[in-house]
Amino acid sequence: MGIRNSAKAVIVDNGKILVNKNMNSLGDMCYGLPNGVVYYDLPGGGQNQYETLEEAVKRECLEETGYAVIVDRLAAIFEEISMNEKFRAEYGRYAHKVYFVFLCHLSGEPIQPLAEKDLDMLESIWVNIEDTGGIPLYPQIINTRLRSIVESDSVLYLGSEQV
């Protein structure tokens, strides 16, 4: 199974960030949420073998959102371990992740057609940074520290969480 590296992007444009809107289909395996509940997460995903984290976040953003991004810097690191036995059995390779969160901006290239959506993904939407506290953005530690992630000049270690 192993530990999966996940490269995530905080894409900032005119005081807004781009988030993926999702509708849970995994029952309580997804952050304990019931089926049909809408939640949000940052664009990005798993790092492929022989791919740098920066390459991974650029690829994932283009695939999921259609936007090409430029990476400004690594902004935060966070570890998440699923304690849900059913999730571990069905999605073992996703049960232990280390998130590398990058601060990014749009490259200015035209938006591309989506190449790949995540399992529960509905669409990508722009949200005012000030409004993110009012939406269910996961992992929650990223949501609660989003302003710090955007404003800090240092890489933030957000800790580890068992969910």
pLDDT digits 0-9 by tens, 109-121: 998 988 888 889 9
pLDDT digits 0-9 by tens, 120-129: 999 999 999 9
Q: Residue 1: its pLDDT value, please?
A: 58
In the chain, the number of structural domains is 1
Q: Residue 116: its pLDDT value, please?
A: 81
Confidence band (pLDDT; 50, 70, 90) for 159?
A: very high
Which two three-digit tokens encode residue 5?
């590296």
**Residue showing tokens 């969160």:** 101
pTM of the model: 0.92
Percent of the chain with pLDDT over 90: 69
Percent of the chain with pLDDT over 70: 99
What does the alpha-carbon distance between residue 65 and residue 43 come to, in Å, rounded to a whole number?
7
Query: The CATH number of the domain where 28 resides is what?
Result: 3.90.79.10
Determine the structural domain holding residue 146 and report its residue range: 4-162
